[in-house]
Structures are given as structure tokens and as C-alpha cells.
């Protein structure tokens, strides 16, 4: 496998073998980290992290991952750089590529990260756009490997806003890895037909199925992994909360819903999550709409079945694997 110089923009660009290779590499990095083994194989290199939206996990995984690999890191937040305002994406990409050996981007349209990659002659990694969140799914599937040993033939069900970045990327990775993917949501929030069609073609080749259903019984039957995400994503209008709460309350992951999945099913969530009112937004939503939990109950979030903290940790190992694979000659 040779990934040197490649971008990581969306999982559609990667084959099953390549995705599995990156996950196994991440597992090796996890062992090294746990055993305190140095792995600063990219000493002397530098990466820049461009964030137009907030982040805890993705930013920290890139920063710690880069530092563990021996690299220098610059973080550029939503304000403070010239990008987009006084300087085009094309000029920003070319300037940064003269100084850095890799560029991470989190922001709005997928086109921006694709354009950065077009103009920068160093690897560009997608740290989340409105359309896709491809680094997240490597950590999700790695967590499934850790739990089940094998993922092929398992079923993952996504409940909630099924046309968001996380749901889109999950559908792609499942269809490429022979995992049955079920999108369980109101039909108005089903993923775009064109992407479903593409994923169904991959699924056919890799021996899995893509199911879209509004019915939670059908959705959760035989599920090994139950996944949800926030009901309103970054960049979407706050005015959407009212409608989403109404539409998605039947899809909240409760203990009763978990019982409809396999007895050994795990609960996954990319995080951050509204499972209580201990956040500013959580409190506001509670005051306005009277709900104390949104996409998942606190009970499920804190249960034994919940693997969300392993999943969050695995962001570090998988992002490190992506940087290493695309930067090491």
C-alpha cells in the first residue's frame, strides 16, 4: 500500500483494502502509544490545521497525532487568518503548501476542501465538511473491530438526521466494507438519492445492503451497532431545532430502542452529544422546548453498551495513521 502524497477528502476515493489498511495501522499506533513506544517518524515536518468550525476531538487528534509523530503544528481558527476573506482558497493552498507538509481543513462546503487539495501539492485531509466527515468513520469502524473482531456481515443502524455529514460517510464506509447499513429516520431526512445509489452499487459488490426505513423495529432488527448524532449540525440554522425535535423524538436512542437491537449491540456517537442539560445549548433547548435529552438518553450514553469514549480515543490513532500513511515516503 502506498499512500504517499495522497489526499484524504472522502471515503468514496478509497478502496476497501485501503480503508482496512489504515484502520489496522491505527491499531498498531494505539499499541505503541499504550506501550509508551516512541513513534516520532515524521520529525522535521510540519502540518497546518484550518478550522472554520469548532472542534474538540478532531483538532486534538490532529495536534496530538502530529506531536506524537514528531511534527510541528499550527492551528488557524475561524478568525485570524486571511483565508476566504482577503485571500482565495487557491492562493491560501499554494502559500501553505510552501511552508507545510500537510493541511487539514474543517469547514463548510466539500468543494473548499477539494479546491485546497487541487491547489496544494501536499496531502490535504478533510476534518469535516457539510457533506462528509471521513476521518470519523475510521475510528467508528476501528471501535467495531475492537468489539467484534470482524465487521463484515454486521449491521449498523444510524438513527436521526440521516442526511448529515456523519450519516453520509457512515453509509459510504459500510457499503465498502460489507457492513449492512440502515438509515432509520423520517423520509424527509433520508440521504440524497444520488449518494444512496452510489453506495448501493458498492454494497452489491461487497455483499452488504443499504436499507432506508422510517420504522424503528425494522431498522434495529439484527443491529450490532446503534449510531446517532446531533439533530442540528454545525452551520445549520438554530430555527431548525423546533422541527427536528418534533421529527426526530421517535428516533431518540432510549433503553427500549436498544433492546430492539442485538443483545451484544454497541452504542456509538461521534460526539459531542446532547444527552443531558449540562451544556449551554442543552439548557437553552430545555428552557424552550422542555426536553432534557435529545438524540440519546443519558442512560444509554452512560451504559455498558456505550463505546463512545473508546470511539473518541480512536480518533487520535486513526488520524495519526492517515497523516503517517500520506506523509511518510
Which residues inside 198-237 make contact with ligand NVA, applying CB under 6 A? 229-230, 233-234
Residue nearest ligand NVA (C-beta atom) = 233
Q: Footprint of ligand NVA on residues 249-288 (CB under 6 A)?
A: 270
Among 221, 271, 281, 291, binds ligand CP (CB under 6 A): 271
Member of 8, 20, 58, 124 binding ligand CP (CB under 6 A): 58
Which residues, 7 to 36, sit near ligand NVA by CB under 6 A?
none
- Quote the crossing angle between the two packed helices 134-148 and 165-177, to the nearest 10°: 50
Q: Tell me which residue has cell 509523530.
A: 69
Cα separation, 167 vs 190, whole angstroms: 9
| Other C-beta atoms lying within 10 Å of the C-beta of residue 180 | 21
**CB of 323 vs ligand NVA, minimal distance in Å:** 19
Binding partner of residue 233 among ligand CP, ligand NVA, none, CB cut-off 5 to 8 Å per kind: ligand NVA
Q: Site mask, ligand CP, residues 230-269, x = CB under 6 A?
A: ----------------------------------------
Active site positions, annotated: 106, 133, 136, 229, 270, 315
Q: What count of other Cβ atoms lies within 10 Å of the Cβ of residue 79? A: 7
CA distances from 212 to 115, 161, 256 (A): 32, 12, 21
| Nearest distance in Å: CB 132, ligand CP | 12
Q: Rule CB under 6 A: is residue 159 a binding residue for ligand NVA?
A: no
Instruction: Report the distance separating Cα 242 and Cα 290, nearest Å.
Output: 11
Question: All 3 cell numbers of residue 161?
Answer: 438526521
71 is a site residue for ligand NVA (CB under 6 A): no
No. of helices (H) and no. of strands (E), the chain = 13, 9
> Based on CB atoms, which residue is closest to ligand NVA, 15 or 56?
56
Task: Output the nine-digit C-alpha cell for 116.
Answer: 485546497
Helix or strand (DSSP H, E) at 247: helix 241-248
Q: Is 307 in the site for ligand CP (CB under 6 A)?
A: no
Total residues binding ligand CP (CB under 6 A): 9
Residue 139 DSSP one-character state: H
Q: CA angle 266-171-161, nearest 5°?
A: 80
Q: Note the residues at the interface with ligand CP (CB under 6 A).
A: 55-58, 128, 136, 270-272
Q: Note the residues at the interface with ligand NVA (CB under 6 A).
A: 128, 164-166, 229-230, 233-234, 270
Amino acid at each position: 500500500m502506498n499512500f504517499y502524497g495522497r489526499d484524504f477528502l472522502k471515503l468514496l476515493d478509497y478502496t476497501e483494502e485501503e480503508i482496512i489498511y489504515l484502520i489496522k495501522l491505527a491499531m498498531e499506533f494505539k499499541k505503541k502509544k499504550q506501550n509508551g513506544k516512541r513513534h516520532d517518524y515524521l520529525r522535521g515536518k510540519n502540518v497546518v490545521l484550518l478550522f472554520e468550525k469548532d472542534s474538540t476531538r478532531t483538532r486534538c487528534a490532529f495536534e496530538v497525532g502530529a506531536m506524537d509523530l514528531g511534527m510541528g503544528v499550527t492551528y488557524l481558527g475561524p478568525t485570524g487568518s486571511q483565508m476566504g476573506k482577503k485571500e482565495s482558497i487557491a492562493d491560501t493552498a499554494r502559500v501553505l503548501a510552501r511552508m507545510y507538509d500537510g493541511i487539514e481543513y474543517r469547514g463548510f462546503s466539500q468543494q473548499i476542501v477539494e479546491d485546497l487539495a487541487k491547489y496544494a501539492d501536499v496531502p490535504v485531509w478533510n476534518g469535516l465538511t457539510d457533506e462528509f466527515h471521513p476521518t470519523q468513520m475510521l475510528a467508528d469502524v476501528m471501535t467495531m473491530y475492537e468489539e467484534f473482531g470482524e465487521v463484515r456481515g454486521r449491521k449498523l443502524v444510524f438513527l436521526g438526521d440521516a442526511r448529515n455529514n456523519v450519516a453520509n460517510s457512515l453509509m459510504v464506509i459500510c457499503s465498502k466494507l460489507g457492513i449492512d447499513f440502515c438509515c432509520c429516520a423520517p423520509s424527509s431526512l433520508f440521504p440524497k438519492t444520488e449518494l444512496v445509489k452510489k453506495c448501493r452499487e458498492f454494497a452489491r459488490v461487497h455483499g452488504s445492503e443499504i436499507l432506508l426505513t422510517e420504522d424503528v423495529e425494522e431498522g434495529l432488527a439484527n443491529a450490532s451497532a446503534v449510531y446517532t448524532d446531533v439533530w442540528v449540525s454545525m452551520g445549520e440554522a438554530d430555527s431548525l431545532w423546533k422541527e427536528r425535535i418534533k421529527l426526530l423524538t421517535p428516533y431518540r436512542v432510549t433503553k427500549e430502542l436498544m433492546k430492539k437491537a442485538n443483545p451484544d449491540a454497541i452504542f456509538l456517537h461521534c460526539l459531542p452529544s446532547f444527552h443531558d442539560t449540562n451544556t449551554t445549548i442543552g439548557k437553552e433547548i430545555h428552557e424552550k422546548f422542555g426536553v432534557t435529552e435529545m438524540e440519546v438518553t443519558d442512560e444509554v450514553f452512560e451504559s455498558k453498551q456505550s463505546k463512545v469514549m473508546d470511539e473518541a480515543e480512536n480518533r487520535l490513532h486513526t488520524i495519526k495513521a492517515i497523516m503517517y500513511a500520506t506523509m511518510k515516503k
